Amino acid sequence: MTLHLDNLPRTIYVEREGDKPQVVMIDQRALPGELLWIRTDDWRAVVDAVKTLAVRGAPAIGIAGAAAVMLAAFSLAEECSSAALFAARLRKVAARVAEARPTAVNLAWGVRRATQTAARALEAGRSTHECAEALYGLTEALIAEDEAANRAIGAHGAALLRARAAAAGRPLGLLTHCNAGSLATAFYGTALGVVYAAAEEGLVARVYADETRPVGQGARLTVWELAQAGVPTTLICDNMAATMMAAGLIDAVVVGADRIAANGDAANKIGTLGVAVLARHFGIPFYVAAPVSTVDLDTPDGTAIPIEERDASEVLPAPLSGVSVRNPAFDVTPAELITAVVTERGAVSPADIGSFAKE
């Protein structure tokens, strides 16, 4: 299959206009109708983009977190009279950035990378301006690291699918839930990175994408992205997954993750747990594709993962008297329902992900 990955735009990057850096992000709220960009030199605008899902996906918001701290550093370098004041105010900004969305551990990871870089620069005697420049370099490095990791995830995932396609004697039907593609990362994607790598080998017949209610990441983002890349795609309602599996159309499920606990439990967009249960019933492998940075060794199991509860208007636009709404944004798939976790360092049993991530 010939893919057209050059049709996929870069999700988040940084650029300079003179000495003032900007963060540039796709406004994913406008897709698939329009491809709009947010350009800002204000760290608060990056935080707002994360909160409002203009930028989303665990790897992408990890980069956004580091980028927000970087923008704050450039502003504070102009405002603060001393390195001590600069450091104290930057720590306060970092705390606010990290709180923008609680479930995806990559956000806190990106902020932590930035604060560590800033602390090392100041400890080495660099000026506040030099510290800000170091954070700009870190953000560029994280973007490059993310794409490299995603391509490695894709290669390792394709190896798993290659064996399954060989056993089936034909290309595979794959199902995915939510969007863990290029739009959820700097470029290429995690779950869809696996799809792209496998498709280039001719291993993919068709991808079935759940709509992913209530915000419709599958219907708005995943199918748009797959169509841009030239991958045969079918959009299905969330409640159609069982029927597709029963009909023999699904050979494997590939999803992303926003946080993986030390025991292998994985948090992903709401509805993922139901897909995993169905896959187990029908004997279909269920793969989670995510970088090692998504593994949170400080979270022992899925019960300790904080689940973001979003606004009721996403589910029920107009309130109804006497009707309450629950809108958890994520659910947790137990490790025993996951066939393998595919990382940039290889595929591993979820039971071993904790020790694997420590290496």
Check 146, 251, 258, 265 and give the catalytic one.
Answer: 258
DSSP-assigned letter for residue 10? P
Q: Which string of b and e fits 197-230 if b means at least 16 CB within 10 Å? A: bbbbeebbbbbbbbbbbbbbbbbbbbbbbbebbe
To 10 degrees, what angle do helices 105-123 and 58-79 make? Answer: 30
Closest by alpha carbon to 212, among 314, 76, 356?
Answer: 314
Q: What is the tally of helices (H) and strands (E) in the chain?
A: 11, 14
* Dist. CA 199–CA 292, nearest whole Å: 24
Q: Which residue has the tokens 């990056």?
A: 46
Helix, strand, or coil (residue 107): helix
Q: Are 218 and 235 in contact (CB under 8 A)?
A: yes
Residues with Cβ within 8 Å of residue 276, at least 6 apart in sequence: 253, 286, 333, 334, 337, 338
**Omega into 319 within 30° of 0, i.e. cis?**
no
Catalytic residue list contains 258: yes
Give the integer Cα–Cα distance in Å for 159 and 178: 23
E strand map for 162-215? 172-176, 204-210
Active site residues: 258
